[in-house]
Structure 1
Amino acid sequence: SLQLTLSTSSNLSSEPSAANLSPGSRCGPGEYWSGRHCCQRCPAGRYVEEPCSSPHTRSECEVCDTGMYTEHANGLPSCLLCTTCREDQEMVSDCTPKRNRQCQCKTGEFYCDSEDCPESCYRCTRCPEGKVVLQTCNTTADTLC
């Protein structure tokens, strides 16, 4: 019986007390800590123009400007800057307020066959004279000669 009491009390002491939690961890799902209280997050494609004035109410949300986006509900003070495709990349889909620009390695010139695509684009191999192209270079695989 004594051992059971000890294990119970040790479990209690390892539980974080409410005082140790950051104020933001007390916010509900779909909320963020504004510095004063919990506010409702802005939907994707928008950002917080002005945090809510009373707890658990809606913030003033503004649509992202051109060239900016937010993909998720958020408590951000501004939208995120859209990715710019590099010279060895081409655009797959343009940036919208709710989605970042998607890029891939330039078709026929560069490819990427690793997990960090399209960050690592490699120049396509040109088959030496007399060799036949078995597979044309594409965005995910090099030329096969």
Structure 2
Amino acid sequence: MTLICVFCFATDPATTYSHQDPTTGETLLCGSCQPGTHRVAHCTATTPTQCAPCRENHFTALWNYLPRCLYCNHICIQNQEVETECSPVSNRVCRCKPGYYLMDDFCDKHSECGLGYGVQTAGTHQKDTVCEKCPSGYFSNSSSQLDSCMKHQECGNGQLVLLAGSAYHDTVCGLLTSLQDGVIVLIP
């Protein structure tokens, strides 16, 4: 068998393919079709490979000699949204909606950091929320996917600490106003 190169403009193996001409029996080195197109007819000893553009909702991402383009088969399902729409050169790309992350091919809701815990790292499309226990001097009194631990307030200007802060609540400050019938009145 003889290898014939007709209309070969590139020597990169990714942009060429071998084809046996059914009329002559010769093996030809044909030019591949560029991404976004597909093969309509193989090359011959006198004509180059004929290519045509992909139709709507179809694509080819690589140099190819496919008889038709591939169908854009990625469908964004529950808790997903389109990141990149189908184009002649790429399939549709889906990602998790805000508030969700990819786990085992499904989009799970980001974890909430509970009382006494704050967000160390907010969740992304690819990773869950990372929580941390509030350190001494900080608190979190809510369950949240976004809130970090907050610093305890400091009592000032003659205020007293009525309730010391913890990991779950802020410091409560107040003023001693008067002594009525042996009872101390505190105003927060």
Which structure 2 residues correspond to residues 1-145 of structure 1 after superposition, within 5 A? 29=13, 30-36=15-21, 37-54=28-45, 57-82=47-72, 83-108=74-99, 110-112=100-102, 119-128=105-114, 130-134=115-119, 135-145=121-131
What is the aligned length? 114
RMSD: 2.8
Q: Structure 1 pair 131/66, CA: closer, same or farther in 2 (3 Å)?
A: farther
SS of residue paired to 2:52: strand
Structure possessing the higher radius of gyration over alpha carbons: 2
Structure 1 segments unaligned to the other structure (5+ residues): 1-17
The structure with the greater share of residues assigned to strand is 2
The structure with the greater share of residues assigned to helix is 1
Paired amino acid for 2:79: D
Structure 1 equivalent of residue 175 of structure 2: none
Paired amino acid for 2:123: C
Distance 2:41 2:125 in 1: 43
Q: CA deviation at 1:89?
A: 2.0
Q: CA deviation at 1:50?
A: 1.5
Q: Structure 1 pair 131/63, CA: closer, same or farther in 2 (3 Å)?
A: farther
Structure of higher RCO (CA pairs closer than 8 Å, 6+ residues apart): 1
Moved over 4 A (4+): none
Paired amino acid for 1:84: I
Paired amino acid for 1:101: R
Q: CA deviation at 1:59?
A: 1.3
Paired amino acid for 2:78: E
Q: TM-score under structure 2 normalisation?
A: 0.51
